[in-house]
């Protein structure tokens, strides 16, 4: 959440900062701002709303300066407004900040007693005043060190100074921050994506570190101010591009890309010649792992629940799935034969990163499933499983969710084979079935027309339910989440058999209910649960797979049938119509599909 850009150069930087802020719009934000330094004066402009508004306004005032910082803000402390937007500036210092300063109230009281006057409701403004206060009696480096030691919480900072015409300070604790290198200019950014149009050479700050950027040099320091060296990494080339093409929204494009991204992932992991799944450089022997803990947030957590089902079906391992924000506050029983798997599209999710950090501090085996291989979570894990989806810009995850599930399925299948819990014949058969998945996903996209016709009932409803059993339950959760995220319709994902234990009271005449009932071993039971809600007046949208057998129920409002495939892989196909349902419901309501309100792509606060 929130995004930072900083550039120090030998030419004006405002247009480059604006272009980089546009690349950070996917993170979710409610206001934007920029500050540049010209002739010993900090020039600041910020506004509520989109980067385009910021761009239009600064083009009128011709904002110049060869050093500058920019920001897109997702509100934490203080309502979305121009006053609370970043940067925050005094006469001598300007700051942009991602994260939360937990002791801001205490610091503000201290600073007010010193005579400082605050203009905003934000926690960030205390940083500006702290630095301003310390600069009265200290040099720049000492002031930065004193300020950083005072702050409690998480932050990534970009700071410019009235009296330093060629300098930006960057600092990190908890929130990600990258440094980019260019000819006669250097860059600061929340992630490599923001900088990629300008450079492919990147370094990453670790927790507690800060850096000093000038146009021809970059110096890094540890938390005690000791100079350190950093590795310069070359960014990997990503498949896909950042343009919508002929699509109205990135999300529409990303849904349609799923056959391609799944094919890319299959090609990366399946050795077709040797008929095997490759987990290259896997650092442990299979007998060193007796339990697996899967950890994620939101959609990534749903992929963890899906993986839990597969691991339990295919292996005898002890498996659990945990929400990252809960995991780190429980009393965990760390054992040397535990493997902890962390799932995150961005690789920067704050709660997931904190859970990983806790496991690393306890010397646990750690593995990450990510879309961004240069991310903090990937860099801090013992082993990385990339999902090879290319950039996903829409805030509501689609192709990354299928990618996460696919990689976790590869892992569960390979581990089952290595542990001799499935035989070679079954293993090879499942690999052959995986090779068919991209084409079947492509065919399933053709359910769109059917789904579009059902959206009006969801758009006009005050709430809805998504029901499923077994492997369909995590998909029910994900379908409900998508409808909430995009169409702002109350939706609950529920185990179908639990309806009788409370939620059935919510069913009323005309309420839309999505029943996910593929023809697996749970089918008959789920159809019985479906009949219970139909009897109470619900309008049931049944999602199942094609079959010659009759559906064992009457009075179904609408049925959508996906393609046939082995039961293990049906969740991939069943997810598609649910993505389309959320998309078209939001489209009918006229909402901003790629940037739903209050949400962010990369959640970098707890």
pLDDT tens string 272-299: 888 999 987 889 988 899 999 999 999 9
User: Token pair for residue 107?
Assistant: 């610091």
Helices (H), ranges, 445-518: 448-459, 472-487
The answer to whether 297 is a known catalytic residue is no
Superfamily of structural domain 446-589: Glucose-6-phosphate isomerase like protein; domain 1 (3.40.50.10490)
In the chain, where the domains are located: 3-234, 252-422, 446-589
User: Token pair for residue 565?
Assistant: 């495939």
pLDDT, tens digit, for every residue of 353-378? 999 999 999 999 999 999 988 788 99
Is residue 458 a contact partner of residue 487, using CB atoms and an 8 Å limit? yes
The dihedral formed by the CA atoms of 131, 136, 138 and 144, expressed in degrees to the nearest 10: 0
pLDDT, tens digit, for every residue of 499-552? 878 888 888 898 999 999 999 999 989 998 898 899 888 999 999 999 877 776
pLDDT tier for residue 240 given thresholds of 50, 70 and 90:
very low
Does 55 score more than 90 pLDDT?
A: no
CA–chain centroid gap for 408, Å, is: 17
Task: Using alpha carbons, select from 156, 204, 164, 151 the residue that is nearest to residue 181.
Answer: 204
Out of 126-130, 196-200, 354-358, 509-513, which region has the weakest mean confidence (pLDDT)? 196-200
pLDDT, tens digit, for every residue of 426-481? 999 999 999 999 999 999 999 999 999 888 888 888 899 999 999 999 999 999 99
Rounded CA separation 107/478 (Å): 41
Q: Which residue has the tokens 């450079």?
A: 199
Is residue 361 a contact partner of residue 368, using CB atoms and an 8 Å limit? no
Catalytic residue among 2, 47, 211, 265: 2
Domains 3-234 and 446-589 share a fold: no
Is residue 578 a contact partner of residue 397, using CB atoms and an 8 Å limit? no
Q: What is the CATH number of domain 3-234?
A: 3.60.20.10
The share of the chain scoring above pLDDT 90, in percent, equals 65
Rounded CA separation 88/129 (Å): 10
Is residue 254 a contact partner of residue 399, using CB atoms and an 8 Å limit? yes
pLDDT tier for residue 319 given thresholds of 50, 70 and 90:
very high
The share of the chain scoring above pLDDT 70, in percent, equals 97
The answer to whether 359 is a known catalytic residue is no
Q: What is the CATH number of domain 252-422?
A: 3.40.50.10490
Is residue 96 a contact partner of residue 86, using CB atoms and an 8 Å limit? yes
Does 402 score more than 60 pLDDT?
A: yes
């Amino acid at each position: 959440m929130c995004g930072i850009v900083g550039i120090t150069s030998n030419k004006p930087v405002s247009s480059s900062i604006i272009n980089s802020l546009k690349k950070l719009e996917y993170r979710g934000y409610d206001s934007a701002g920029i500050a540049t330094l010209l002739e010993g004066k900090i020039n600041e402009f910020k506004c509520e709303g989109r980067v385009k508004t910021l761009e239009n306004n600064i083009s009128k005032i011709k904002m110049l300066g060869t050093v500058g910082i920019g920001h897109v803000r997702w509100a934490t402390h203080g309502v979305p407004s121009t006053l609370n937007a970043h940067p925050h500036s005094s006469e001598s210092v300007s700051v942009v900040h991602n994260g939360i300063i937990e002791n801001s109230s205490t610091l503000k009281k201290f600073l007010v007693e010193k005579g400082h006057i605050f203009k905003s409701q934000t926690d960030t403004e205390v940083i500006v005043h702290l630095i301003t206060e310390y600069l009265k009696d200290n040099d720049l480096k000492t002031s930065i060190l004193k300020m950083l030691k005072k702050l409690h919480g998480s932050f990534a900072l970009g700071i410019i100074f009235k009296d330093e015409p060629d300098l930006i300070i960057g600092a990190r604790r908890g929130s990600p921050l990258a440094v980019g290198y260019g000819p006669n200019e250097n860059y600061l950014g929340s992630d490599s994506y923001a900088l990629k149009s300008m450079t492919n050479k990147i370094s990453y700050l670790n927790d507690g570190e800060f850096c000093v950027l000038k146009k021809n040099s970059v110096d890094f320091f540890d938390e005690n101010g000791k100079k350190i060296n950093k590795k310069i990494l070359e960014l990997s080339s990503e498949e896909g591009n950042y343009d919508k093409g002929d699509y109205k929204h990135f999300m529409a494009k990303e849904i349609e890309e799923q056959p391609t991204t799944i094919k890319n992932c299959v090609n990366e992991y399946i050795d077709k010649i040797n008929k095997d799944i490759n987990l290259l450089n896997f650092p442990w022997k299979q007998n060193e792992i007796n339990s697996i803990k899967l950890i994620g947030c939101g959609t990534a957590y749903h992929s963890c629940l899906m993986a839990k089902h597969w691991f339990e079906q295919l292996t005898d391992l002890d498996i659990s799935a945990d929400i990252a924000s809960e995991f780190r506050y429980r009393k965990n029983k760390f054992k040397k034969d535990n493997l902890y798997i962390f799932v995150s599209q961005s690789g920067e999710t704050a709660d997931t990163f904190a859970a990983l950090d806790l496991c690393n501090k306890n010397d646990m085996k750690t593995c990450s499933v990510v879309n961004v291989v240069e991310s903090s979570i990937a860099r801090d894990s013992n082993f990385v499983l990339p999902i090879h989806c290319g950039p996903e810009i829409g805030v509501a995850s689609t192709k990354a969710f299928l990618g996460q599930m696919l990689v976790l399925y590869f892992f569960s299948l390979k581990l089952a084979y290595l542990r001799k819990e499935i035989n070679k014949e079954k293993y090879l058969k499942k690999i052959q079935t995986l090779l068919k998945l991209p084409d079947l996903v492509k065919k399933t996209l053709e359910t769109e027309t059917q789904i579009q016709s059902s959206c009006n009932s969801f758009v006009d409803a005050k709430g809805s339910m998504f029901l499923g059993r077994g492997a369909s339950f995590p998909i029910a959760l994900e379908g409900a989440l998508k409808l909430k995220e995009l169409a702002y319709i109350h939706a609950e994902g529920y185990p179908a058999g639990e309806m009788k234990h409370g939620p059935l009271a919510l069913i009323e005449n005309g309420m839309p209910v999505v029943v996910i009932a593929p023809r697996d071993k749970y089918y008959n039971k789920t159809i019985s649960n479906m009949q219970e809600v139909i009897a109470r007046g619900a309008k049931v949208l049944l999602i199942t797979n094609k079959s010659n057998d009759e559906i064992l129920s009457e009075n179904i409002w609408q049925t959508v049938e996906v393609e046939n495939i082995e039961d293990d892989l049906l969740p991939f196909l069943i997810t598609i119509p649910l993505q389309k349902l959320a998309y078209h419901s939001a489209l009918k309501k006229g909402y901003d599909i790629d940037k739903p309100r209050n949400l962010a792509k990369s959640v970098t606060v707890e």
